[in-house]
Structure 1
Amino acid sequence: MPRIPTVAPADASPLVRVAYRYAAHKFDEVPEPFTVLAHHRKLFVATARHEMAVQKASTVLPANVREIAVYRVAWTIGCSWCVDFGKMLQRLDGLDVERLERIGDYEDSPAYSEDERSAIAYADAMTATPSAVTDEQVADLERRFGRDGLVELTYHIGLENMRARMYSALGITEQGFSTDSCRVPWADDDSGVKK
């Protein structure tokens, strides 16, 4: 359970209830971070718009490269919600989720391509405190993905750092998106969201 209560649909504003219905339709359940962020309506709206815009704008990198770098950040920070949700996104993108069990040994695992290894190493360097990114890494990634691809990768790694740290701080844990048994973020079935 998160460190602060979630906002159930019965207690949410009409705009938040609409967003909950959209999320439930898209993901089969409302992501718990939405239900915690709903305590601050303006940030809830800003986040929803931002996430949709980022998803729409992210067209340069191959999905496997972007998603594995984001997953590595979540795994490194230890955000169980982000790991859970990230595994679901990779599954929905048709990516091999079995290889995620070997993310700790990515450098030597044949499950990862050279492009993916470079992206994971960059995610590690960006996530380190202080940042450990090198000029060589940036030059290598620019050669691999172009400047726009490098910017997209950097943006997603930075965004996942923010998400994972925020969700961990608020005590938001795995919800079951990577399995077929997703936990709803509120206990009262009567307040539920209709899909």
Structure 2
Amino acid sequence: MTRIALVADKQASWLTRLAFRVARRMYGEVPEPFRAAAHHPALMWTSAVHEMTYGKAVGRLDAALRDLVVHRVATRVGCSWCVDFGTMLTLKAGFSVERHRELSRYQTSDAFTELEKLALRFADAMTDLPMDVTDELVTALREHLDEAQLVELTYAISLENMRARTNHALGLTAQGYTSGDACPVPWATQISEAAPQS
């Protein structure tokens, strides 16, 4: 149960209903964070513009690596909505069910490259409270990434921390993307098996 009412279509302004319609076409259902944010339209649109601008700005870092660390942050923060939505997106992008199962033990798993393990450690260190990023970890990452890629990795982790903490604080929970209930996908049964259990 959410800690905030979700704005229904009939309660939303015509512009917000238009945004809901676009989201419904993209994802099969309006993501609940959109409906929660619609209580404050100026912030909802600020966030939407930021997300669109961010989506166009990224690209120096490998998208699969970026998706991997974003998913890890959502898992660490405990945002079941983010994990649900992120699992759907990562599997759609080709991230295997097996790698999802290995994510909780990435440090010792052969399913991840050295760079992926370093990036996951960086995501964990940035998500920890207090943050635990060390010079040694950043130096190790810089052996694989240029400075622009390191900035993009850092930004992606920071952004997902903000998203996940906001959604978690508002009580937004799994919406059914990984089961296929809200967004039917051909691999729905595989996704359900891969989704972390609460």
Same fold (TM > 0.5): yes
CA contact (8 A) 1:90 1:97 kept: no
Does structure 2 conserve the Cα–Cα contact (< 8 Å) formed by 1:66 and 1:156? Answer: yes
Query: In structure 1, what is the equivalent of residue 109 of structure 2?
Result: 109
Residue 35 of structure 2 corresponds to 35
Match of 1:53 in 2: 53
Q: Per-residue deviation at 1:98?
A: 3.0
Secondary structure (helix, strand or coil) at the match of 1:111 reads coil
What does residue 147 of structure 1 align with?
147
Partner of 2:160: 160
Q: Determine the C-alpha separation between the residues in 2 that align with 1:130 and 1:9.
A: 40
CA RMSD after TM alignment: 1.2
Establish whether residue 131 from structure 1 lines up as the match of residue 131 from structure 2.
Answer: yes
1:1-195 alignment to 2 at 5 Å?
1-182=1-182
Give how far 1:104 is off: 1.3
Q: Which residues of structure 1 form unaligned runs of 5+?
A: 184-195
Contact kept, 8 Å, 1:64 with 1:116, in 2: the verdict is no
Q: Whose RCO is larger (CA < 8 A, sep 6+)? A: 1
For residues 128-175 of structure 1, what are the alpha-carbon distances to aligned partners after superposition, in whole Å with 9 as ceiling and x for unaligned?
A: 111110112212222312111100010010011111111111000001
Give the distance between the partners of 1:55 and 1:93, measured in 2 at CA: 15
Deviation for aligned residue 1:14: 1.0
The runs of at least 4 aligned residues of structure 1 exceeding 6 Å deviation read none
- Report Cα offsets for 1:24-72 as digits up to 9, x if no partner: 1111111100000000000000000111111111101112211111111
Alignment TM-score, normalising by the size of structure 2 = 0.89
Compared CA separation, residues 103 and 116, structure 1 to 2 (3 A): same
Does structure 2 conserve the Cα–Cα contact (< 8 Å) formed by 1:87 and 1:97? no
